[in-house]
Amino acid sequence: MKGSHSVKNVAIIGGTGYGAVELIRLLQSHRYMKIKQIISHSQYGDQITSVYPHLTEFYDDPMEELNINRLKDEIDVVFLATPAGVAKDLVPQFQESNVQCIDLSGDLRLHAREAYLTWYGKEAAPQEILDEAVYGLSEIYKEEIIKAKIISNPGCFPTSALLGLLPAVEHGILNNQSIVIDGKTGVSGAGRKQSQMTHYSETNENVTPYKIGKHQHIPEIDLYLSQVANEDIATTFTTHLIPMTRGLLCTMYGKLDKQVSTPEVIDLYQSYYETHPFVRIREEGVFPSTKEVYGSNFCDIGLHVDERTNQLIIGSAIDNLVKGAAGQAIQNANLMNGWDEKHGLYHIPIFP
């Protein structure tokens, strides 16, 4: 049986990953969504507390096997916190139902099927699904999200980069072909899977540039930047692994096409995000650090016009697991269901 009018039943697919566990944490204080199923392909039958003892006494039920029909019967909102290549096959199966699908993977983010093939190395979802899915960058596509049934939740880097760049790009103050994005992320962005890059001994006390020139978030950033600018934009984007668990900062650079001062740019950004509670613009001379948004759904932005070089410098900080994943997914669910966008999400970051 589906949830009542006021409380929606939720399923999370991909139960042993960090996306899922962060959804569980955030949904605990959500009054209108209730987790009914946590689905794990690899560990169904096990209690989630055997993987995550921190959940003890909060969620002791065993994880379940995927059963699409049961989901259609019982569930109102499905969060897909699965690796690339899973959601593209699952989402189409909910087409005939009323189930809201929010995909946290990259499967539905690129409109062109060839682009997905190029950057993800797999066959893309059916074109009609790609066409229907709404890109869930909550601040920018709010109107579309409110009416959507399928959400493609943005990647962590694109969330930070786009929120940091779009006000400037939309107002046409940048030379759009000069944009450089230097991304820095905590290790949890790589997920729970083990790899040499997530090995403590090699990541600690280290900064590691990775996937230079081939990160799958490049086409995602360029696509939505171009969409807003109404112009083909190719950015230069690099990513660096930082010895921290959570936190993501994009430092961005763009040649100014117009002469503007730092206070003017700050004004422009403040107006742009005036009605958006999760974006906070720092005052002149202050840039956000990632810890200032730790555990929260905020995107904090700092701005500086470098008069020596006529470059706009933008710093945009998020928690990659919250605004960059689970938090934004819930923000989108809030919008889709007519609840307050802030509900269950408007918490003070953990500091220190």
Interaction with a second copy in 128-187: which residues (CB under 8 A)? 177-178, 180, 182, 184, 186-187
Q: Which amino acid is at 162?
A: L
Q: How far is the CB of 316 from a second copy (least distance, A)?
A: 10
Q: How far is the CB of 44 from a second copy (least distance, A)?
A: 19
Alpha carbon distance 115, 341 (integer Å): 32
Interaction with a second copy in 4-33: which residues (CB under 8 A)? 18, 21, 24-25, 28-29
Interaction with a second copy in 297-336: which residues (CB under 8 A)? 300, 302, 304, 306, 308-309, 311, 313, 315, 317
∠ CA 288-290-296, rounded to 5° = 105
- Write the DSSP string, 249-267: EEEEEEEBSS---HHHHHH
- Report the residue number, 146 or 190, with the smaller CB distance to a second copy: 190
Measured between alpha carbons, how far is residue 119 from residues 82, 116, 151, 218, 296 in Å?
17, 5, 20, 9, 30
- Residue from 288, 299, 318, 332 touching a second copy (CB under 8 A): that is 288
Tokens at residue 219, please? 């086409």
- Report the residue number, 144 or 264, with the smaller CB distance to a second copy: 264
Q: Is 205 in the site for a second copy (CB under 8 A)?
A: yes
Q: Is 350 in the site for a second copy (CB under 8 A)?
A: yes
- Residue from 6, 69, 195, 230 touching a second copy (CB under 8 A): that is 195
- Report the residue number, 48 or 336, with the smaller CB distance to a second copy: 48
- Report the residue number, 37 or 311, with the smaller CB distance to a second copy: 311
- Report the residue number, 88 or 184, with the smaller CB distance to a second copy: 184
Q: Is 109 in the site for a second copy (CB under 8 A)?
A: no
Residue 53's DSSP bridge partners are none
Q: Is 114 in the site for a second copy (CB under 8 A)?
A: no
299 is catalytic: no
Exposure string for 261-277, b = 16+ CB within 10 A, e = fewer: ebeebbebbbebbeeeb
Count the Cβ atoms, other than its own, within 10 Å of residue 55: 18
Tokens at residue 143, please? 């109107």
Interaction with a second copy in 212-271: which residues (CB under 8 A)? 212-213, 218, 234-236, 238, 240, 242-247, 249, 251, 253, 255
- Report the residue number, 68 or 197, with the smaller CB distance to a second copy: 197
Q: Is 54 in the site for a second copy (CB under 8 A)?
A: yes
- Report the residue number, 52 or 94, with the smaller CB distance to a second copy: 52
Within 13 Å, how many C-alpha atoms sit on residue 225's CB side? 31
∠ CA 281-249-211, rounded to 5° = 150
Alpha carbon distance 287, 314 (integer Å): 9
Q: Looking at 100-108, 223-231, 288-296, 335-343, which segment touches a second copy (CB under 8 A)?
A: 288-296
- Residue from 267, 289, 337, 343 touching a second copy (CB under 8 A): that is 289
- Which of helix, strand or coil describes residue 143? helix
The site for a second copy, by CB under 8 A, has a size of 87
Q: How far is the CB of 94 from a second copy (least distance, A)?
A: 28
Contacts (Cβ under 8 Å, ≥6 apart) of 6: 32
Tokens at residue 39, please? 């689905």
Under 8 Å between Cβ of 188 and 263: no
| β-pairing verdict for 77-80 and 8-13 | parallel
Q: Is 96 in the site for a second copy (CB under 8 A)?
A: no
Query: Which position has the token pair 């893309």?
Result: 124
Query: Which position has the token pair 């070089």?
Result: 309
Positions annotated as catalytic residues are 156
